Amino acid sequence: MYEYVEPRSIKAVISASRGEKVLVMTSGAEVVDLIRRAVPLALAPEDDPIRDELKRLQEKKEEIDVLAHKQVRRILWSGLGLIGAQYGLFFRLTFWEFSWDVMEPIAYFTIAIIVGIGYAYFLFTSRDPTYQDLMKTLFLSRQRKLFKKHNFDVGRLKELQNKCKTSLDASTSIRNRVGLKVELDDALHKD
């Protein structure tokens, strides 16, 4: 139950006798300030420097995310190119240079090595070697390198988001763009 107490300051008082919270309010300006602290970004003026800095950092992060995603896509397409080149090489060696009797053990051991690399990846990272996991790992790696290259302060972005209590998620853009769920904390900590 809340009751009105003579104006002195804004603070929450716990009534020792009843254990009820009492809200003490003095003036309309202090009430507005209390609301502004609770919902700061919505009530901040348009020319607020914190809002401008947060917007600038989010735009810069968006650019870095797009660049990191392009680099990851290039790496993944290169992998497809290598697989195609391997198929072409095996096809050429099997039907023109050698015979299947020679190429069968070579193909078997090549595939066994690839499976071994996938298993080693699982052992070192404790993650499945799936497309989504590989893409996320490559994306975070490229993103961290680009943050360092562009002197982007991830900690400052996180601090401003917490200070402004913004509902704008920094990872929403990349999630909508490619379906990759990456949190801002992932960029702060190396796995």
Q: What's the pLDDT score for residue 64?
A: 93
What's the token pair of residue 123?
């052992």
CB 175 within 8 A of CB 72: no
Q: Which residues contact 71 (CB under 8 A, 6 or more apart)?
A: 142
Compute the mean pLDDT over every residue in the chain, rounded to the nearest whole number: 78
What's the token pair of residue 108?
């078997």
Is the per-residue pLDDT at 34 higher than 60? yes
Dist. CA 42–CA 78, nearest whole Å = 45
Dist. CA 118–CA 188, nearest whole Å = 26
User: Going along the chain, which residue ranges are E strands?
Assistant: 11-14, 21-24
Q: Which residues contact 31 (CB under 8 A, 6 or more apart)?
A: 10, 25
Q: Which residues contact 187 (CB under 8 A, 6 or more apart)?
A: 140, 143, 144, 147, 154
β-bridge partners, 22: 13
Q: What's the pLDDT score for residue 16?
A: 40
Task: Please write the tens of the pLDDT for every residue from 98-146.
Answer: 988 999 999 999 999 999 998 998 899 888 878 888 888 899 999 999 9
Is the per-residue pLDDT at 6 higher than 70? no
